[in-house]
Amino acid sequence: MADNSGKILKSIQPGKITLPIIIGLAVTAYFLYKEFDPNILTSFSFTVQSLFWFFISFLMMGIRDFGYIIRIRLLTTNQLSWRKAFNVIMLWEFASAITPSAIGGTGVAIFFINKEGIKVGRSTAVVMVTSFLDELYFIITFPLILLFIGRTDIFTFGDSLMDGMPWYKNQFFMFAFIGYLLKLCYTIVISYGLFFNPRGLKWLLLWIFKLPIIRRWRPQANESGSDLIATSQEFKRWPFKNWFKAFIATSISWTARYWIVNTLILAFFGFELLGWNDHILIFGKQLVMWIMMLVSPTPGGSGFAEWVFKEFLASMIPIGTGMALAFMWRLVSYYPYLVVGAFIVPRWIRKHFISV
- Main-chain phi, psi angles of 239, to 5 degrees: -70, 155
Confidence category of residue 59, pLDDT binned at 50, 70, 90: very high
- Of 66, 75, 54, 87, the residue nearest 254 (C-alpha): 66
Residues 6+ apart with CB under 8 A from 81: none
Mean pLDDT of the 328-345 span: 82
pLDDT digits (tens, 9 = 90+) for 185-230: 888 877 887 788 878 777 876 776 676 766 776 776 676 677 667 7
Question: Number of folded domains in the chain?
Answer: 1
- Compute the mean pLDDT over every residue in the chain, rounded to the nearest whole number: 76
Beta bridge partners of 100: 299
Distance CA 60, CA 49 (A): 16
Mean pLDDT of the 90-103 span: 74
pLDDT digits (tens, 9 = 90+) for 232-241: 777 888 888 9
Distance CA 189, CA 172 (A): 26
- Distance spanning both ends of the chain, measured CA to CA: 22
Instruction: Print the domain residue range for 149.
Output: 5-353
pLDDT digits (tens, 9 = 90+) for 7-57: 555 555 555 556 666 666 676 666 555 555 555 555 556 678 888 988 999
Distance CA 257, CA 43 (A): 25
Residues 6+ apart with CB under 8 A from 264: 53, 54, 57, 325, 328, 329, 332
Q: How confident is the model at residue 254, as a pLDDT? A: 93
Q: How confident is the model at residue 145, as a pLDDT? A: 83
Confidence category of residue 2, pLDDT binned at 50, 70, 90: very low
Q: How confident is the model at residue 206, as a pLDDT? A: 77
pLDDT digits (tens, 9 = 90+) for 321-335: 777 787 888 888 888
Residues 6+ apart with CB under 8 A from 49: 266, 267, 270
- Main-chain phi, psi angles of 238, to 5 degrees: -60, 135
